[in-house]
Homo-oligomer: A and B are copies of this chain.
C-alpha cells in the first residue's frame, strides 16, 4: 500500500530592514513582541558595551556575549547557546536575536533552528559581509574538523535588521570580506554592482541580488549554487591555512574564472577584466598543497567526490550548466588551475 504524505507547503517570509539608526528605533522591540513573549540576545563580545548591553536593556532580553569570528563557529559555541536557553527554561515563545558578524549569526541561527525544533530568529548583522551575504537566505552552519559549514540547516529568520551605522565600528580588515562578496555577486548576476554607485546603492543592490537568487531556489537544488562562485577553491584555501575569508574568496574567484576560460566558458579579455576588478591577494604563508587538496575533496557540492565549481559565461552571468549551476572539473584542468594559482598568488 502506497500512502503519499504531503504536508502543506512551508512558505517562509523574512522582513529585511536596511537603513541607518535602526537600532535606535522601536523596530526591534515591537518585532520581539510580534514573534514571541520573551527575548534572548546573543552578541559578539566585541560589541558588548557599544550595542549589545543597550539593546538587551531596551528589549528586556537575557544577554549572552560570545567570541565572534570563524573560530567560534563550532559545536561548542552552539552548545553554549543551548545551555543558556535551557537554563533559563526558554520555551518556543522565546525570540532569539543574534547581533554580530556572519560567524555569530550562523551559529546562533543554527542553535535557534534546532532548539525545541526551532524558535523565532532575528538577525542583526554588524559587518558588511554579514549584511550582504551571511544573513540572507536562511543558511546556518558550524565548522567541523572536516571543513567549513559542514553541519547546519536552512532556517529562515523572521526579521533581519541591517543598520549601516554599525559599520562605523567595523575593523579595517573586515571591509575586504564584504567587498569581495559584493564583487562576486556582480560577477555572477549583477554586473551593475561593478559600476560606480553610492555605497548605499551597492549594499542594497548586493542584498537584492542575493534575494533574487535564493527566492528562486530556497533548497539549493539549482540556481542558488551560483552563489558558491569562488568558494570551492576559497573554502579549501581557508580550511587549509589561516586567511581572511575575503582574501580566500578573491583568490577563489580568480582561479574559478581561470577555469571558466580553460573549460571554454569565458573569454580571455573578460578574464583580464575580472582580475583587474578583484583585489589582488596572496596565498597564506602556511599554504600546503596536500592539505588544500584534501579540503577540496570534502566540499559539499562534490557529488561522487568530483571537485565541482561554479563557472562564468561572462561578467555578470554564471553558467547554468543544464540547471545544476556547477560543473565537475576534470583532474588535469584542476591541477593546471592549482598550478596557476600557486604561481600567480603564491
Does A37 contact B304, Cβ atoms closer than 8 Å? Answer: yes
Cα A237 to Cα B326 in complex, Å, equals: 52
Residues of B within 8 A of A216 (CB): 8
What's the minimum C-beta distance from A233 to chain B, rounded to whole angstroms?
17
Partner of A93, one of B18, B91, B304: B304
List A residues 231-250 near B (Cβ within 8 Å).
none
A91 shortest CB reach to chain B, Å: 5
Binary per-residue interface labels of chain A (198-211) against chain B in the complex, 1 for a CB within 8 Å, 0 otherwise:
00000010011001
In this complex, the interface size class of chain A, counting residues with CB under 8 Å from chain B, is: 35 or more
Instruction: Write out the residue numbers on chain B whose beta carbons fall within 8 Å of the beta carbon of A7.
Output: 12, 137-138, 156, 214-215, 218
| A6 interface neighbour in B11, B82, B153, Cβ under 8 Å | B11
Which of A115-123, A183-191, A266-274, A279-287 contacts its partner?
A: A115-123
A300 partner residues in chain B, CB cutoff 8 A? 91-92, 116-117
Residue of B4, B14, B82, B154 near A151 (CB, 8 A) is B82
Q: Is A15 an interface residue (CB 8 A)?
A: yes
A136→B91 CA distance, assembly (Å): 24
Residues 295-324 (chain A) with a chain B CB within 8 angstroms: 297-298, 300-305
Taking A89-B298, A152-B114 as contacts, is the C-beta distance between A4 and B8 under 8 angstroms?
Answer: no
Stretch from A42-50, A139-147, A333-341 contacting the other chain: A139-147
Q: Are A5 and B118 in contact (CB under 8 A)?
A: no
- Across the interface, which residues of B come within 8 angstroms of A137, CB to CB? 7
State whether A217 and B3 are in contact (beta carbons under 8 Å apart), knowing that A113-B153, A116-B150, A303-B93 are contacts in the complex. Answer: no
Query: Which one of A151, A160, A208 has the greatest number of beta carbons of chain B within 10 Å?
Result: A151
A-B contact pairs, 11 of them (CB 8 A): A1-B204, A9-B11, A82-B144, A91-B300, A91-B303, A91-B305, A93-B304, A110-B114, A114-B153, A117-B149, A118-B153
Beyond A110-B114, A114-B153, 4 additional pairs, beta carbon < 8 A: A6-B215, A8-B217, A10-B11, A92-B301
